[in-house]
Chain A
Amino acid sequence: MRKIIKRVKELGPTALIASREFRNFVEKFESEINRGISTLCILSIINQAGDEGMYGYKILKELEEQTNDMLVIEEGTLYPLLRKLERDKLIKSERREFSGRPRNYYFMTENGLKIYNHINGFFSKLTESISPLMDMNVNLKEDYIYCPNCANKIDISKEDFNFCEICGLNIRDLKERRLKK
C-alpha cells in the first residue's frame, strides 16, 4: 500500500487511493493482517537458516525476495519484533563479528520450533479453509500432516512419532495412511 501511495502522483487523480478515508481504512486493515503474518514469516526464515542463523538485514532481504516484495515491513520495526521473540524464548541470538562490525545472528530454539510448527499449521489450515471464500486454490504439501485436533504441522519424513507433540492426539493411523499414499 505504502509503495502505491508513494507513486500516487503518477496515478489517476480520481483513483480511490487518493481518498484519505480509503487510505486510512485500507492501511489499518493491511497492517492488522501483516502483523501476525510478518512474525510467522520471520520465524520461517530464521527456521530455514537452521544452525547457521541469520542476522537482521539478511532476514529482511529474504523476506522481500521470498514474498516477491509483497510483504515489506518497516526495517526499523524488525528489531523490536526480534527482541520480543527472543524474550519469549522462541529464538535466541549470538553476536558475531563480520568485517569488524558486530552482528546479531538469530536461531530458532527448540521450543520456538514447536510453536512455529503449530502456528504454521494453524495458518496453513486456515488459509486452505478460507480459500473458497477468496476464490483461490490452496494445495498444502503432501510432505506434512496437520493434526486434526490442533492443526500442528508435522513433517512425516523427518520425525518418528505417534502423538502430536502439541495436543497429544494419537496420529499414528493418520501418518500411516499418508505414508501409504
Chain B
Amino acid sequence: MSRQYMEAIVKEFLKNVKKKLPEWLKEKKKEVKDILAELEEHIWEKAEELSGMAQPTEDSVRLAIAHMGTPESIAKEYKRRGTPKYYITEELWPIYTKVLTIIFLVIIAIGIFSTVFNIITGDLAEALNFFSFFTGFFSAFTIVTIIFVVLSMEGYFPEDFKSERELKKEARRLEIAQEKGLPISSRTGKPLKPFIHPVGEIIGGIVVIIIGVFLITYPIPGLVNSMNPGFLLILGVFGVVIIIEGGLDTTRGVIGNYKVKTHQIIHIITIGVKLASIPLVVILWSRPDIIPFLIWDNSTNTLVNIGVTPEFYDLCRNIMAVIIVITIITPIEDIYKIIKLEKYKVKN
C-alpha cells in the first residue's frame, strides 16, 4: 500500500478530530495545529511499532488509529476542563450571574417605565398587569441558563471570549499585582480592583480633621460668645468625635491597598465612633432651647444668638430625629466594606 494512501487515512482521522474539537479550541489555530501534529506523530510511531518493521503498513496505521480512540472521545477530553458546579461550571458561574443580573435589571427598568407610562395614560389595568413582566423574567432566565449550560458542556472558560491582546494585558496586570503583593482573587485568579483610593481618603480625612479642630477651638470668638455653654460643650465633643473619624480615614489612606485585616478593624472602630455622636444629638433633641439661632444685628454689625423660640422646638426635634436615623444608617457602608474586604484577604 502506498505511503500516500496511508497518509490519506491519517489525514482523514485528524480531519475528524479537528471537526469534533470544541469551538473555543478551534479559534486557536496554532494550538489546533500543534495538537494535530502531535497526534499524527504518535500514530506514525505506533504504526511503525505495530508493523514490526521500519515502515508502517495500512493495517498497522488503521490499528494505531483505533488505539487512539474515537475523535469524539479525544474531543470530549478537551471539553472536560471546567470545575463542575450544578450544570454550569464554576469558571463560568460569575459571568452567568452577572449576565442574569444585568438582564433582570433591564427587565425591571422596562417594567417600571411601562407601569409609569400606563398610569400616566390612565390604563390602570395594564399598569397592574405583571404577567408579561414575569414571563420576561422566566424567558430570560431559561434562555441564559441553557446558553451557559451548553457553554459549560463545551468546556468554555471566560478567557475564551477574550482576544490574545486582552489576555496578555491581564497577564501583565497579574504579574504587577504579584510583584507589588496586591490581593489576587482566589476564585478568578485575577488581581482584585483596589478597594481604597489612598489620596482621596487622606484628603477627605484631613478635611474632616480641620473641621473637627474648628469645632473644638472656636476660632471665631464673636460667633460663639453668645452661644449656650452646654451647646458649645456638645460642639467640642462632636469635634473630637469627627477628628477621630478623620484620623481613621487618613490612617486607612496611608495604609493603602494592603493589610486588609487592619482596614476591617479600622472600619469597626469607625462604626463605634460614628455611633458615639448619637448621644450628643439626643441631648440636643431633649434640649432644643440650647440650640443657637443666629441673626445679623445691623446696629452692632455682628451675629447675635436669639435662640430657638418654643414654637420651633418640635421642628428642631424632628431635625434631630432625622440626624439620629442618618447616623444609625451610615455605619451600613462600613459593614458593607468589612464584608467586601473578606475576599481581599486571599493571597494578600
Which of A72-80, A117-125, A127-135, A165-173 is near enough to bind chain B? A72-80
Q: Is A101 an interface residue (CB 8 A)?
A: yes
Chain A residues near B44 (CB, 8 Å)?
101
Q: What's the Cα separation between A45 and B73 when bound, in Å?
A: 23
A76 touches B38 (CB 8 A): no
Whether B77 and A75, one on each chain, are in contact in the complex, defined by CB atoms closer than 8 angstroms, is no
B41, A103: Cβ atoms closer than 8 Å: yes
Q: Which residue of A lies closest to B35 (CB)?
A: A79
Tell me, in angstroms, the Cα distance from A74 to B78 when the chains sit together. Answer: 14
B78-A80 in contact (CB<8A) = yes
Q: How far is the CA of A28 from the CA of B81 in the complex (A)?
A: 19
| Residues 98-113 of chain A, each 1 if its beta carbon lies under 8 Å from chain B, else 0 | 0001111000000000
B22 to chain A, nearest CB (A): 10
Give 19 A-B contacts (CB < 8 Å), ordered by A residue. A55-B41, A56-B38, A57-B46, A75-B46, A75-B68, A76-B17, A76-B39, A77-B73, A77-B74, A77-B77, A79-B35, A79-B38, A79-B74, A80-B74, A80-B78, A80-B80, A81-B77, A101-B44, A104-B38
**Residues in A42-92 with C-beta less than 8 Å from chain B:** 55-57, 74-77, 79-81, 83-84
Cα–Cα, bound, A83→B46 (Å): 20
Interface of B toward A, CB cutoff 8 Å: 17, 34-35, 37-39, 41-42, 44-46, 67-70, 73-74, 77-78, 80-81
Q: Evaluate contact between A76 and B41: CB separation under 8 angstroms.
A: no
By a CB distance below 8 angstroms, the chain B residues around A103 are 38, 41
* Beta-carbon contact of A57 and B77 below 8 Å: no
Are A79 and B39 neighbours in the complex by a CB distance under 8 Å? Answer: yes
User: What is the CB-to-nearest-CB distance from B240 to chain A, in angstroms, rounded to a whole number?
Assistant: 45
- Is B35 touching A83 in the complex (CB atoms < 8 A)? yes
Report how far A134 CA is from B1 CA in the complex, Å. 52
Residues of A near B38 (CB, < 8 A) are: 56, 79, 103-104
Work out how many contacts link A and B, with CB atoms closer than 8 A: 50
In angstroms, Cα B21 to Cα A79, docked, is 13
Q: Are A76 and B37 in contact (CB under 8 A)?
A: no
Per the bound structure, the CA–CA distance linking A80 and B78 in Å amounts to: 6
Residues of the B chain whose Cβ atoms lie less than 8 Å from the Cβ of A77: 69, 73-74, 77
Once the chains are docked, how many angstroms separate the CA of A103 from the CA of B37? 8
Whether B81 and A84, one on each chain, are in contact in the complex, defined by CB atoms closer than 8 angstroms, is yes
With contacts A57-B42, A57-B46, A103-B41 taken as known, whether A74 is within 8 angstroms of B69 at the C-beta atoms is yes
Give chain B residues whose Cβ lies under 8 Å from the Cβ of A79. 35, 38-39, 42, 74
- Which residues on B sit within 8 Å (CB–CB) of A76? 17, 39, 68-70, 73-74, 77
* Interface contacts beyond A75-B69, A101-B41: sample of 11 additional A-B pairs, CB < 8 Å, sorted by A: A55-B41, A57-B45, A75-B46, A77-B73, A79-B38, A80-B77, A81-B77, A83-B35, A83-B78, A103-B41, A104-B38
Residue from B34, B39, B77 whose CB has the most chain A CB atoms within 10 Å = B77
Contacts of B73 in A (CB 8 A): 74, 76-77
Instruction: Closest B residue to A78 by CB, please name it.
Output: B42
CB distance from B167 to the nearest CB of A (A): 12
Closest Cβ–Cβ distance, residue A32 to chain B (whole Å): 13
Which residues of chain A are near B39, meaning CB under 8 Å? 76, 79
Q: How many angstroms between the C-alpha atoms of A55 and B46 in the bound complex?
A: 13
Q: Do A56 and B74 touch across chains, with their CB atoms under 8 A apart?
A: no
CB-based nearest A residue for B40: A101
- Of the listed residues A76, A77, A84, the one surrounded by the most CB atoms of chain B closer than 10 A to its CB is A76
Closest Cβ of chain A: how far from B327's Cβ, in Å? 45
Find out whether the CB atom of A56 lies under 8 angstroms from the CB atom of B42: yes
A104 CB contacts on chain B under 8 angstroms: 34, 38
Let me know if B78 and A75 touch, CB within 8 A. Answer: no
A102 CA to B73 CA, complexed, in Å = 24
- In angstroms, Cα B37 to Cα A57, docked, is 13
From residue B64, how far is it (CB to closest CB) to chain A in Å? 8
Q: Which residues of A contact B17 (CB under 8 A)?
A: 76
Most buried by A among B39, B44, B45, B67: B45
